[in-house]
Amino acid sequence: MSLGKSDVLLAGMGEIKVAHGEGVLGCIGLGSCVGVVLYDPATESGALAHVMLPEPPGGESDEMPGKYATTAIPALLKELGTPTYALSRLKAVLIGGAELFQNRQRSLQIGGRNVEKLHRLLEAHRIPIIFEDTGGHHGRSFELDLATGQLTLRAVGQAPVVHNLAMAMMKLAKAS
């Protein structure tokens, strides 16, 4: 079962949330947006950004860094404080990036481009993606319990699906 909302640190559009140890991070109603979590097993800290676009549409931006993939990843790394040489011990989780309105004459494909940009940024930092549920045409909500590694995914008209990421979050931790 999912936890009550009051126990979950929910990142709204463009927001960043950080939790240590016992925290639960989550997003509600991701459409074309992507929830990206970076988890550091060494410090048991996780940081989540609710990314809206691949990059700032007008170039540089001093707005909320969580809004854009290109500014969100550096901001998450800063929040976690992981040393540069140890970035590969981080684990990434990506959820969202759908395209809800189909049959548009001029589709902007924002969801797909968000996911693609995040892939490229994570690859550049050599951060492995341990879980991903992206693309398609439906909205998603999720909660990730950092203590247990339990990831709960919700879509409309479907029972919540629970994934256990504990192994993925810890196994790689021993290797680093």
Partner 1 sequence: MLTELSAFRQDALREIGNIGLGGAVTALSEMTNIRFTLEVPEVMELTTTQLHLICPSEECLSVGAVARVEGDWSGEAAFLFPWQSAEVLWQALIGTAPAELSDLNELHESVIREVANIMLGSFLNAISQMTGFELHMEPPAFAADMAAALMSSLMVEALYGQRELLAIETRFRIPEQQFEGFFFFLPDTGNLQRLFDALGI
- Binds partner 1 (CB under 8 A): choice among 57, 83, 84, 126: 57
CA neighbor of 129 nearest in space, from 137, 120, 141, 138:
120
Residue 27 annotated to the active site = no
Contact 128, 77 (CB under 8 A): no
CB of 119 to partner 1, least distance (A): 19
- Dihedral sign for Cα 71, 47, 141, 7, please: negative
CA atoms within 13 A on the CB side of 23: 18
Report the C-alpha gap between 96 and 86 in whole angstroms: 27
Options 16, 24, 33, 48, the catalytic residue: 33
12 sits near partner 1 (criterion: CB under 8 A) = yes
User: Do residues 149 and 91 lie in contact, with contact meaning Cβ atoms separated by under 8 Å?
Assistant: no
Q: Does 157 bind partner 1 (CB under 8 A)?
A: yes
Question: Which span sits near partner 1 by CB under 8 A: 17-25, 84-92, 135-143, 161-169?
Answer: 135-143
Closest by alpha carbon to 47, among 56, 57, 36, 63? 36
Distances from the Cα of 44 to the Cα of 13, 19, 97, 135, angstroms? 25, 9, 26, 29
Closer to partner 1 by Cβ: residue 14 or 149: 14
3 forms part of the interface with partner 1 (CB under 8 A) = no
Q: Rg for the chain (alpha carbons), in Å?
A: 15
Binding segment for partner 1 (CB under 8 A), chosen from 18-26, 75-83, 93-101, 126-134, is 93-101
Residue 61 binds to partner 1 (criterion: CB under 8 A): no
**Binding-residue total with partner 1 (CB under 8 A):** 33
Contact in structure between 176 and 127 (CB atoms under 8 Å): no
Question: Which of 24, 25, 52, 127 is close enough to bind partner 1 by CB under 8 A?
Answer: 52
In the complex, what is the shortest distance from the CB of residue 67 to partner 1, in angstroms, rounded to a whole number? 8
| Catalytic residue ranges | 33
- Binding residues vs partner 1 (CB under 8 A): 12-13, 28-33, 52-53, 57-58, 67, 98, 100-106, 108, 110-111, 137-141, 154-157
